[in-house]
Amino acid sequence: MDDLVVAGALGLIGLYLLAVILLFAIYTVAWLMYRSFVAGNFGVVLDGILGTLIVISLYMAIGFWLRKTDHI
Amino acid sequence: MSHVLVSPLNWGLGHATRDIPVIKNLLGHGHEVTIAACGNARSVLEQEFPGCRSIDFPDYPLSFSASRFFLPKFFASFPLVLKAISDERKRLEHILAQDPYDLIISDNRLGVYSPDIPSVFITHQLHYHLPLVFWPAELLAVELNGFHHGKYRHIIVPDNPPTQTSLAGKLSRPGTDVTRKRVFFSGILTSTRKRNREEDLDYLVMVSGPEPQRTHLEKILLDQIHGIEGRCVVLLGSPQDHSLLDQSDVCRIIQYASTGEKEELMNRAKFIVCRSGYTSMMEIAELGKRHALFIPTPGQTEQEYLSWYYGKKGWFHSQNQYHLDLPYDIRVARQPRYTGFPDIPKTEENVLRLYEKVFAQYLER
């Protein structure tokens, strides 16, 4: 098979795999927080919210930095 | 005499029309050109070059979204595009087995290259612009582009080098060493020519691009067109119905105009309203038009980036079609802070340099 097609197929598999992992992570965190909330364990809920906000902020900050420095 | 295979992508007519001056130049040097294309791109080139052999060569499916959310649908269509590239590679092998070629020119067709025949790739996008949230994909695309560019002897970018006069901004900035080694900035390439015409038309409004967004823009513009003063032509760019809709002295609405008629209207226009597609930008730069309003196709990140970039450079004003107030936005676009594109080398000069610096080494041996 042509190497361009092989590289494209591998890239696609990687992209979709990443999407599945991301969705699974979102589901796991959401489920953990829901169970903690139902059990009245609000500390875990707050930690979950805080952790999620930190991860999203870091992710977006890296994006902003890359754009500001003309890397993307 | 050498034999060249020219294969443009059929996503709009931009790829085919920018290849017209290149093909004319090759024919002018006495070379034989075979066109491998499909759909409207093939029809345009067949009309322009009836003496050239033309091969039906299907390309890739592309689905445009009716909503602003073009990207998810675009990503979902990747497997189909990959399958089409695989088919394209097989068809190309068959074409190359039928006749000897000295050079292959691929205009944005990813699978059109050969390890045995010098191949060049024409693109104005060395770098894809995506919404910030997808920054890892934007980084990855730079590397993938580098891998793909390694298949070609040269990457021809129809833009000025990445300096103050670059029309494509970051889109034409090489991101990897593989690309940097191969890139040749040809300057703009367009089939539209500057004619010695009086600018007797106050406004030319061009509604173009993929459906269904073309129809959406048509409705938005026709609702607002009577709010502007002066002689105006609205070109709807829909070849299905060739009838003339309106023949009033002040505002004419035309369903469809040929390439020549469109060129004539653009030459006569003092002010142009159009999408911010790169082909239109090259046409405006070629004609030296200083006043225009751009309306990017929603969800098309390339057009959205170009609109933002031209605003930042102080060249042209743009407005999202959902927030368009035509009379107001035209007034803004006419403000002196918008200067139009800087003076840059034109197609005639660029295509001569392209031949000398790139093509001649493969065709005049």
- Non-local (6+) Cβ contacts of B212 within 8 A are B64, B66
Instruction: Give the pLDDT score at B81.
Output: 87
Q: Chunked in runs of 10, what are the mean pLDDT values of chain B (365 residues)?
A: 96 91 98 96 94 94 61 76 92 96 97 97 95 91 93 98 94 96 98 95 91 89 91 82 59 87 96 97 97 94 96 97 96 97 97 98 90
CB contacts, 8 Å: B170 with chain A: 70, 72
Amino acid residing at B108: N
In chain A, the residue whose alpha carbon lies closest to the alpha carbon of B87 is: A5
Contact B132, A64 (CB under 8 A): yes
Phi, psi for B6 (deg, rounded to 5): -115, 125
Name the residue among B75, B85, B140 with its Cβ closest to that of A8. Answer: B85
Instruction: Give the pLDDT score at B63.
Output: 59
Instruction: Give the pLDDT score at B60.
Output: 84
Percentage of chain B lying above the pLDDT 70 cut: 94
Contact B124, B158 (CB under 8 A): yes
ipTM above 0.90, yes or no: no
pTM: 0.91
Contact B249, B270 (CB under 8 A): no
- Non-local (6+) Cβ contacts of B291 within 8 A are B270, B271, B272, B333, B334, B338, B340
- Domain extents for chain B? 3-188+346-363, 201-333
Low-confidence ranges of chain A (pLDDT < 70): 1
Quote the CA–CA distance of B9 and A64 in Å, as a whole number. Answer: 33
The DSSP string of B288-322 is T---EEE-PPTT-HHHHHHHHHHHHHTS-EE--GG
Name the residue among B82, B111, B132 with its Cβ closest to that of A12. Answer: B82
Instruction: Give the pLDDT score at B20.
Output: 96
Pick the CATH number of B201-333 from 3.40.50.2000, 2.40.160.20, 3.60.10.10, 1.10.287.70: 3.40.50.2000
Hey, are the CB atoms on B132 and A60 less than 8 Å from each other?
A: yes
Instruction: Give the pLDDT score at B242.
Output: 45
Contact B225, B252 (CB under 8 A): no
Contact B66, B46 (CB under 8 A): no
- A and B: number of Cβ contacts within 8 A: 46
Instruction: Give the pLDDT score at B78.
Output: 83
Helix, strand and coil in chain A, % to nearest 5: 90, 0, 10
B235-263 CB burial, b ≥16 within 10 A, e <16: bbbbeeeeeeeeeeeebbbbbbbeeeebb
Best mutation target among B78, B92, B301 (most A Cβ atoms within 10 Å) is: B78
> What homologous superfamily is domain B3-188+346-363 in, according to CATH?
Glycogen Phosphorylase B; (3.40.50.2000)
Whether B201-333 and B3-188+346-363 are alike in CATH topology: the answer is: yes
- What are the pLDDT digits (tens) for B279-329? 999 999 999 999 999 999 998 899 999 999 999 999 999 999 999 999 999
Hey, are the CB atoms on A4 and B111 less than 8 Å from each other?
A: yes
CB contacts, 8 Å: B139 with chain A: 66, 71-72
Running DSSP on this structure, what letter comes out for residue B235? E
